[in-house]
Structure 1
């Protein structure tokens, strides 16, 4: 990566610690740092060409959000969730997304709905190409637009926060066989419900889309084990 933090903050309008937090969060959710990786403040300071003070501030913010964990006398590590912790977070995420879908079915503007359909079309192209990484990014935009369409800023903020925490694991899910196809089909049902203004169906479909259950749960646990994570 090796980005200069100063170059990324024109005119100094964004505080260094905030900008660095955003860069580190992006690096984690994009897979540059895997769950369990140690984040060395000195190495990060060299990499982002800044002092250790904003590094420490950024890591404190990330720890508060749950994206990293601080182990006394050992250092700071990218959060590695146990299976129990992971299921609990996906359960909450499913409820938040369902709420967003219910509200979006009543409140989403034609402009946002059109953008959602474009994101779904982009997901379809990635699915047809077998492009897991491309689908991952377009999927993120798909969900972001639903949060936006809820027109509830607090709910959208909480959904985005938890979505960011679970991104590394949602990416893992997409590598399971046939998951791209099934994910896209689930999207189709969600879009249909939103177009129809069917709040109950939108909530139900989004909740099911996110909830870990059955084969999807087993596939994710298997992927975690392949990465060397120990399920609890």
Structure 2
């Protein structure tokens, strides 16, 4: 269970902490929304979810209210609960902002990276490349965030760091993985990471590194916004 989830629970007979029914419903719905099993616009049938989890609709409804408060589910009169559509404008604006502030952070840190900093970032990117064979967009996104944070954390500007942190939090609220919608972007992303690390290692002009980071960050929302959408029924 991830740290961001509530710890509402009951004590099981063996002394272990067992999640409440509402928490179990929340975990199921949250994970299926994040991994793309329930795509934007998907209608959630409370009775069916309750039967799957062997519980009444009451804890399912509680879980849906939590997810609605987090912006992951919308509730429409006479229709019911649906997975929220991704706010494409907010997503683009968030990624655009991150492209500028991350680029600036890496530029400021350009002369500060140690060999271990680069080696650790390269190791994360190697994990990302290995994960492409059995692609899991949620795992890939987590590794992607770890890679980017490894580079930006070296920057000593704490205000920039706060803006970057808020950007990642906003992305998580919008949808944890856009790679679910543009999986082909993952391969290019890993290659671009290698190119950025090469620029850092060779001591390239900080401005060149900044522009490379910025272009890399903007390529994913561009691919998402221009993705091929399924034909309407």
* TM-score tier (shorter): 0.5 to 0.7
Q: C-alpha displacement at 1:77, in angstroms?
A: 0.6
Q: Structure 2, unaligned stretches of length 5 or more?
A: 1-7
- How many residues align? The count is 212
TM-score, normalised to structure 1, is 0.66
Spell out, residue by residue over 1:18-67, the C-alpha distance to the aligned partner (whole angstroms, 9 max, x if none): 55434322211212112211112222222233443332232222222222
Determine which structure has more spread, i.e. the larger CA radius of gyration: 2
Query: Residue 25 of structure 1 aligns with which residue?
Result: 30
Q: Distance in 2 between matches of 1:44 and 1:96?
A: 37
Task: Give the SS at the match of 1:66.
Answer: coil
Alpha-carbon contact 1:91-1:211 (below 8 Å) kept: no
Runs of 4+ in 1 over 6 A off after TM superposition: 107-112, 194-199
Query: Residue 133 of structure 1 aligns with which residue?
Result: 135
Higher alpha-carbon deviation: 164-173 or 95-104: 95-104
Match for 2:17 among 12, 15, 21? 12
Spell out, residue by residue over 1:129-163, the C-alpha distance to the aligned partner (whole angstroms, 9 max, x if none): xx372476334312244347648578536514414
Q: Distance in 1 between matches of 2:66 and 2:75?
A: 11
Higher alpha-carbon deviation: 194-203 or 88-97: 194-203
Q: Distance in 2 between matches of 1:114 and 1:53?
A: 50
Q: Distance in 2 between matches of 1:50 and 1:112?
A: 49
- Does residue 118 (structure 1) correspond to residue 123 (structure 2)? The answer is yes
Q: Structure 1, unaligned stretches of length 5 or more?
A: none
Query: Residue 38 of structure 1 aligns with which residue?
Result: 43
TM-score, normalised to structure 2, is 0.65
CA RMSD of aligned residues (A): 4.2
Q: C-alpha displacement at 1:192, in angstroms?
A: 4.3
